[in-house]
A and B are shown apart, each in its own frame.
Chain A
């Protein structure tokens, strides 16, 4: 691993300005009581303390993007009746600065789906390769944090390129990927060897603050065994209001919908976030819906993350434990409780 560097807090704007001269830099800022990722503006102080309300998912996977525009040649015209497509896969070089480890880790779940051999997604791949994650390790944890349940932790570098750790007066800076190593070449960064021990202590303290994680290793089989137990799922989903807050705020939820929007002979194909909590998600053209109730839909959400995905992907749980689905749910549906209930129920 490269040597640890250090940047005093007051030098951070200098580094951010240098990065912003070369790339789009997204930082967490306060907006109307929420914390969201926005393009770096020296006039707006970034918020690095608490985790952002919305993760930096949109940096790589926008809430909505035009895949291509199309136009039909009119009858009688030279190019009639051909269809002209104009795909848009270019990506803007981007630095996501100050996300928590869970926000960056979410893309590891995406990568296996959109960068696999079977269905490589050129839009995702372009954006992913153009994005660098300068992540901030957590010095504090919250009641809703459960990254340690899913193989992660408050200083998890997986999915990140550079890891910052808050220490007295500033941050230690470590390159945690090859891509990240190139980003440490800035005069604002000095040798951080003297701060390394303090940074390790911060990481250790926040990990200890999370306490012991329960054993949920049996969740894939447990959830599968409860697939047809709709009374169990009714009880788990009674209070759910079927909105999409949990999915849209989830760093690992990668589902999308495709919509053609056009008028006359021209239009565009849109890809936008979709949520399995919505009735329309599985609504078929015939009118049949294989997931007609919220119980079916919540079963899918939990099952996908803690059973189907890990079964397909070497045991990797499709959840980074950020707790946004718990914290931002209007009725406090708690996915941790559901997984534990499933594990306990399957044991009998």
Chain B
């Protein structure tokens, strides 16, 4: 039985006891899948499993507070579920986690670039097939094959969790680990190599096209302030309505700081950005700092308390007394 069929079987069994099960289905064209909310048995057959399931469905879980829901997750998505559980933002008894091994998802921006290089537009995609390690996209009647490794999301290239870290129904064989140790992060390496003024210029250049839609925030499963975010509140009025790079960057810094030690690097902030702004790097930088200081990784252990949600008189790696 395929992973997809096995998932469908398990979901059908559990559905009568659940408000809904969140997964993915085909979207408006061949290149886009879209989140699916399964509320009846007929919806189960719409479920998809594969490289186009780019979204992180954990983002919807806190909005179902008090209701029992199912969620289908990739390995990376499962870390968001775990982090939500760690922070007691969702209740373990109210979530049923379905999963299967994940062989990686595509980065649609990379597919778009590959097609553009072949003189084609992703906006004309007619057919997409993923066969093992190759993605073939047909656009305007022409088929273009590309290795999955070249169009996979960056997170997939360094993935340490191709299988869910927590699941109630894990179907099929686990997916193989991408590699033993994570490769160095290219985005961070590029930023590290810049001088401080160069780095500021980099961010000013990119943030200049921010439209303040807050897709980065709303697609983030850990952004749980939701309707009460300081970006839009009048009291306190922390951010000006002025359309300036400084204000836009200020919000990104607030967002990143709020996620320090909580972010699982699912990359939804960056994927959601309609203006292709590389906002994930800010969170990755803080995660690296958290890892160095506290030897901690978010969303892998339900029992762990995130380092910035607890207080220790003396941290092991912060030698305040010798300052």
Contacts and interface: CB of A to CB of B under 8 A. Distances in A.
A328 B241 contact: no
B218 interface: yes
Interface stretch (A95-103, A139-147, A172-180, A184-192): A139-147
A244 B276 contact: no
Interface centre among B37, B212, B242, B275 (most CB of A within 10 A): B275
B212 A332 contact: no
Interface stretch (A1-9, A149-157, A211-219, A270-278): A270-278
Contact of A337 (B28, B35, B211, B237): B28
Given A244-B212, A259-B241, 13 more contacts: A63-B211, A235-B39, A238-B20, A238-B37, A244-B214, A245-B213, A278-B214, A279-B226, A279-B227, A330-B219, A331-B55, A331-B219, A334-B34
8 contacts: A54-B211, A243-B218, A245-B213, A245-B215, A247-B213, A261-B237, A261-B242, A332-B27
Nearest to B269: A330
Contacts of A34: 209, 274-276
Contact of B124 (A143, A235, A334): A143
A330 B55 contact: yes
Contacts of A326: 28
A327 B109 CA distance: 12
Given A259-B241, A330-B272, A242 B35 contact: no
Interface string A58-72: 000011100000000
A280 B227 contact: yes
A62 B243 CA distance: 9
The 10 A-B pairs at the shortest CB distance, nearest first, are namely: A142-B123, A330-B272, A64-B243, A279-B227, A328-B274, A33-B276, A243-B215, A244-B213, A239-B35, A243-B218
Given A50-B123, A64-B243, A245-B274, A330 B211 contact: no
Is chain A's binding surface mostly helix, strand, loop or mixed? loop
Interface string B137-160: 000000000000000000000000
Given A54-B211, A143-B29, A330-B219, A243 B276 contact: no
A259 B234 contact: yes
A261 B219 contact: no
Nearest to B140: A140
A49 to B, nearest CB: 8
Contacts of A92: none
Contacts of A64: 241-243
A54 B219 contact: no
Contacts of B37: 235, 238-239
A32 interface: yes
A50 B55 CA distance: 25
Interface of A: 31-34, 36, 50, 53-54, 62-64, 140, 142-145, 235, 238-239, 241-245, 247-249, 257, 259, 261, 270, 272-273, 275, 278-280, 326-328, 330-334, 336-337
B289 interface: no
Contact of B213 (A140, A144, A243): A243
Given A34-B276, A144-B28, A270 B109 contact: no
Is chain B's binding surface mostly helix, strand, loop or mixed? loop
Contacts of B208: 31
Nearest to B112: A33
B32 interface: yes
A68 B123 CA distance: 42
Contact of A330 (B39, B209, B215): B215
B295 interface: no
Interface residues of B, number: 50
B125 interface: yes
A32 B204 CA distance: 12
Contact of A270 (B35, B215, B241): B241
A32 B276 contact: yes
Nearest to A33: B276
B248 to A, nearest CB: 10
B59 interface: yes
B215 A241 contact: yes
Nearest to A238: B37
A329 B25 CA distance: 16
Interface string B21-53: 000000111001111110100000000000000
Contacts of B243: 62-64, 272
Given A241-B219, A257-B241, A326-B28, A248 B211 contact: yes
B232 interface: yes
Given A33-B276, A241-B215, A272 B28 contact: no
A332 B32 contact: yes
B3 interface: no
B277 interface: yes
A142 B274 contact: no
A180 to B, nearest CB: 28
B34 A280 contact: no
Contacts of B272: 241, 243, 245, 330
Contacts of A337: 28
B17 to A, nearest CB: 19
Interface string B224-237: 00110000111001
B9 interface: no
Contacts of A238: 20, 35, 37, 60
B271 interface: yes
A249 B211 contact: yes
A142 B113 CA distance: 16
B134 interface: no
B177 interface: no
Given A257-B241, A330-B219, A140 B121 contact: yes
Nearest to B113: A33
A332 B28 contact: yes
Interface centre among A54, A238, A270, A331 (most CB of B within 10 A): A331
A278 B232 contact: yes
Contacts of B124: 140, 142-143
Contacts of A249: 211, 213, 274
